[in-house]
Amino acid sequence: MVSIATWNINSVRLRMPLVERFLAEEAPDVLCLQEIKTVDETFPHEAFEALGYTHRAVHGQKGYHGVATVSRVPLREFSRHDWQDNGEARHVGIELLGPGQGLVIENVYIPAGGDIPDRTLNAKFGQKLDFLERMTRWADAIDRPTLIVGDFNIAPLDCDVYDHKALLKVVSHTPVEVETLQRFADAHGWADLGRQFIPAPERNYSWWSYRAYWRGKDQGRRLDHMWASPDLARQATAHRVVEGPRTWDQPSDHVPLVTEFAL
């Protein structure tokens, strides 16, 4: 059994106490972090070492973006793709070498895309769509069991947001984003583990804005995802959204997801 978690931590150095608590309580074998907002040299290696996460692949940059995968299981860094095509640190891939040997885990932070869902008026929105198209071309050639996880910054289904009609023109839930993400899904036949275990239309949010009291109105969106190759998806035994960290002091606006595999 191997358990894998993903979490947009929104600054790993600031929120390391939350990470320590999460790892103590949930103890996944592998944790994929997005928006670490630091470079390798200032990543909290010692803290992870003390927690037993002695294997790490860090692709960071100063102050923005950045991804890291930490593990109790031996790994090797497998890939770094510049799907943004501008050098931003938004992806790192690893291969497990111990339990689950041979499994590739791709950790990605897809751009948010700005506020206006029109690439002619908002370059960031165009970059997001192009990022997804580059990912789609990559996915078309995958030939081994792969898990891709992270902050996709898209809530694809009507029930993945608190108000479908109200958000149709809001970046993260627009039809063009949903269609572009579906092309990525079709390129490899990915299985959406979140909906495999928590079927639509059940509530399955992973993000709540800092701007509104999150528990009061529950205005959430499902922006974080764990997608598996078809054969790997059949080995998944459990999946959960861990909402507790959103109530902790100085939380991230995202919460972790955890999937367990019988590998």
Structure confidence by residue, pLDDT tens digits, 85-100: 999 999 999 999 988 8
Residue 100 to residue 102: CA distance in whole angstroms: 6
pLDDT at 182 > cutoff 70: yes
Mean pLDDT, range 162-166, rounded to an integer: 96
Across-strand partners of 261?
2, 236
- Cα separation, 42 vs 27, in Å, equals 24
Cα 225 to Cα 245: distance, rounded to the nearest angstrom: 17
CB-based contact 248:18 (threshold 8 Å) = yes
- Which residue matches tokens 């996880």? 149
pLDDT for res 100: 87
CB neighbours of residue 109 within 10 Å: 26
pLDDT on residue 91? 98
In 10 A of CB 71, how many CB atoms? 26
Cα-based distances in Å from 8 to 34, 65, 225: 4, 10, 11
Tokens of 95: 């291969």
Give residue 256's pLDDT band: very low, low, confident or very high (50, 70, 90).
Answer: very high
| Sheet of strand 224-228, all strands in order from the earlier edge strand to the far edge | 75-79, 91-96, 104-109, 146-151, 224-228, 191-192
Percent of the chain with pLDDT over 70: 99
Q: How far apart are CA 138 and CA 208, in angstroms?
A: 30
Closest of 117, 241, 222, 224 to residue 180, by C-alpha: 117
Domains of the chain and CATH, by start: 2-261 (3.60.10.10)
pLDDT digits (tens, 9 = 90+) for 31-76: 999 999 999 999 999 999 999 999 999 999 999 999 999 999 999 9
Mean pLDDT of the chain: 96
Q: What pLDDT does residue 214 have?
A: 63
Q: 108, 149 in Cβ contact below 8 A? A: yes
Please check the confidence at residue 161 and state whether its pLDDT lies above 90. yes
- Amino acid 203 reads R
Element (H, E) at 6: strand 2-8
At 187-225, the pLDDT tens digits run 999 999 999 999 999 999 999 999 876 667 899 999 999
